[in-house]
Structure 1
């Protein structure tokens, strides 16, 4: 079985702003992948609507848990994988079902909860080797941890 590859890019928003997390799938930012999908599907609005998640702004819990679909249960059965370009995840989130097994992590059933009629079935699913996914989560956790250390100093 062919699997996708994931990494989580961390960068500071603006000039020294908070840390932003953007998933990259097969080398492409998820923000670009979803923009391309929505534009080609003629969805309105589309393009430049999404941004990464900002862990400092929200109580997602540990990012390892969040990106394994075990975040705050108040969000429902799906997990925000992107937020709005404004920085507020609830404003314009991209939600996905995240299913993890011993060998595989799958992202599917994408939705834009503010546009329930949109059809995201052709987007994904993305399937990741569990070991590669866990490595990417460890790298993300280390990046967030070192960022928190810097902001406390």
Structure 2
């Protein structure tokens, strides 16, 4: 079975702002992939609507758990994998069902909860090798932990 590759890119918003987490699938930012999908599907509004998640702003719980679909917030059966470009995840989130097994982590059943009529069936699913996925989560946790310990801000 062919699987996708994931990594979580982290960068500070603006000049010394909070850390923003953007999943990358097969080397491409998820923000770019969803923009291209929505524009090609003729969805309005579309393009530059999504941004990464900002762990510092929200009580997602550990990002490791969040990206395994185990977020501590009561968000229903789906997990926000992107937020709005404004930085507020609840404003314009991209939600996905995250299913983890011993061998695979799958992201599917994407939705934009503020536009229930939008059809995302052709977006994804993305299937990640569990070993590679866990490694990406460890790298993400290390960045977030080291950033939290940075007192230079």
Using the size of structure 2 for normalisation, the TM-score is 0.98
Distance in 2 (CA, whole Å) between partners of 1:75 and 1:15 is 31
Q: How does 1:54-93 map to 2 (within 5 A)?
A: 54-93=54-93
Counterpart of 1:127 in structure 2 is 127
Structural RMSD (CA): 1.0
Distance in 1 (CA, whole Å) between partners of 2:149 and 2:50 is 28
Which consecutive residues of structure 1, in runs of 5 or more, have no partner in the other structure? none
User: CA, structure 1 residues 71+152, in 2 after alignment: closer, same or farther (shift >3 Å)?
Assistant: farther
Distance in 2 (CA, whole Å) between partners of 1:87 and 1:128 is 26
Counterpart of 2:114 in structure 1 is 114
CA displacement at 1:74 relative to structure 2: 1.0
Which consecutive residues of structure 2, in runs of 5 or more, have no partner in the other structure? none
Q: Which runs of 4+ in 1 moved over 3 A?
A: none
1:8-67: CA deviation from partner (whole Å, max 9, x where unpaired): 000000000000000000000000000000000000000000000000000000000000
Counterpart of 2:140 in structure 1 is 140
> Higher helix fraction: Structure 1 or Structure 2?
1
